[in-house]
Amino acid sequence: MTLANKRILLIISGGIAAYKSLDLIRRLRERGASVRPIMTRAAQEFVTPLAVGALSASHVYSELFSREDEQDVGHIRLARDCDLIVVAPASADLMAKMAHGLADDLASAVLLAADRPVLVAPAMNPKMWNNPATLRNVAQLKADGIRFIGPMAGEMAESGEAGTGRMAEPLDIVAAVEACLSDRSQKPLACRKAIVTSGPTHEPIDPVRYIANRSSGKQGHAIAAALAQLGAEVTLISGPVTIADPAGVTVIHVERAEEMRDAVLAHLPADLAVMVAAVADWRVETASDQKIKKQPGDAPPALRLAENPDILKTVGHHAQRPKLVIGFAAETSDVETNGRAKLERKGADVIVANDVSPQTGIMGGDRNRVKLIFKDRIEDWPEMDKDAVGEKLALMLAEMLASA
């Protein structure tokens, strides 16, 4: 009974995915939650109020100007008499109303009046999801603190098209609900959004060669997993690695530094950014589209290098800067001096610095020893495995966010 005594206000909007809301109601009630449903007029074209009411064992609300329901300003009462509002499915139309503060029906009026957390599960055609207007609305809702689960990639039920737009499965939505409503002492990062970068970047020289480094991604992946364990909604942007994606984390795979930067910026705003990736400082200015062949008697080809984007500095000085920005400094000498200089230069709150000289075995290995460089102090942590570093760092960041 993980949701015992929790009150969920479920808003069902129009779309074929509305049929999944019936299973979602059943799954929520199995875990002890009470579910009070609101249906838009469009939703009633796909599932009936009778079915929703039977599964929820509750009155189904649908009209803003109902004489019976509005005698005590019902839309305000609905907005406040719950622990969490879930919108599943959330249509493009309803999200547009939310983003622009419209309130011309019961669902949108309740959402405008809400002072409770809101979790949205979008569902629509892939072209509608990727339309610039929808993307603008989603960005605005995320900036307003609305939490998202999905949409997922797959085949659309109504059209046979494939792409991103499917509503998340009911059990995934239930897991997101549990994370948002978990005991804060156990899930102190519930409903917090975190971005983590991990691994190396590969900067192409030609189709078969590239500039890279020895980063394994183990530390970044461990931090992402630890943040997710504390309840955070984690997006991990990973360069090329050979380790498995951590569970409970949304992973975006990239290769080049410019791709990593674009992915990070696309996922702002966030509460927390942990920039662990060992991003290549330089790339070949003009990569060859054909393999560079060695010719007898010819000198080695000259590679003209260009500077890669500084992702940590970009995030640290961004207009949508997260509340906490954590950078990593892999050094082979003067760890504290270089780490402190990086802290001041990049606009970070903390730099996690370590000595990655070959004799330490840290880069690519399973253990790490780090120094945390703050503006006013330095913490020297003992050597431990990278999972333990991730767990200790995640707990510290949760405390920092709570007091921010």
Catalytic residues: 213
Q: How far is Cα 194 from Cα 191, in angstroms, rounded to an integer?
A: 10
Is 309 one of the annotated binding-site residues? yes
Q: How far is Cα 148 from Cα 97, in angstroms, rounded to an integer?
A: 16
CA distances (Å), 347 to each of 145, 205, 316, in order? 24, 31, 5
Is 148 one of the annotated binding-site residues? no
- 93, 98, 99, 103: CA torsion to nearest 10: 100
Closest CA to 61 of 84, 77, 38, 87: 38
Is 81 one of the annotated binding-site residues? no
Q: How far is Cα 193 from Cα 304, in angstroms, rounded to an integer?
A: 39
Q: What is the 3-state secondary structure (H, E, C) of 295-319?
A: CCCCCCCCCCEEECCCHHHHHHCCC
Is 78 one of the annotated binding-site residues? no
Q: Is the separation of the CB atoms in 371 and 379 below 8 Å?
A: yes
Closest CA to 210 of 270, 292, 326: 292
Q: Which residues contact 36 (CB under 8 A, 6 or more apart)?
A: 7, 8, 9, 10, 56, 58, 59, 61, 78, 81, 82
Is 188 one of the annotated binding-site residues? no
Q: Is the separation of the CB atoms in 40 and 111 below 8 Å?
A: no
Joined tokens for residue 306: 């260009």
Q: Is 318 exposed, middle or buried (0-12, 13-18, 19+ CB in 10 A)?
A: middle
DSSP assignment of 36-79, as one string?
EEEE-TTGGGTS-HHHHHHHHTSPPB--TT-TTTTTT-HHHHHH
Is 342 one of the annotated binding-site residues? yes
Is 268 one of the annotated binding-site residues? no
Sequence length of the chain is 404
Is 206 one of the annotated binding-site residues? no
Is 346 one of the annotated binding-site residues? yes
Q: How far is Cα 404 from Cα 250, in angstroms, rounded to an integer?
A: 25
Question: Residues marked as binding?
Answer: 281, 291, 309-312, 328, 342, 346
Annotated binding site for CTP: 281, 291, 309-312, 328, 342, 346
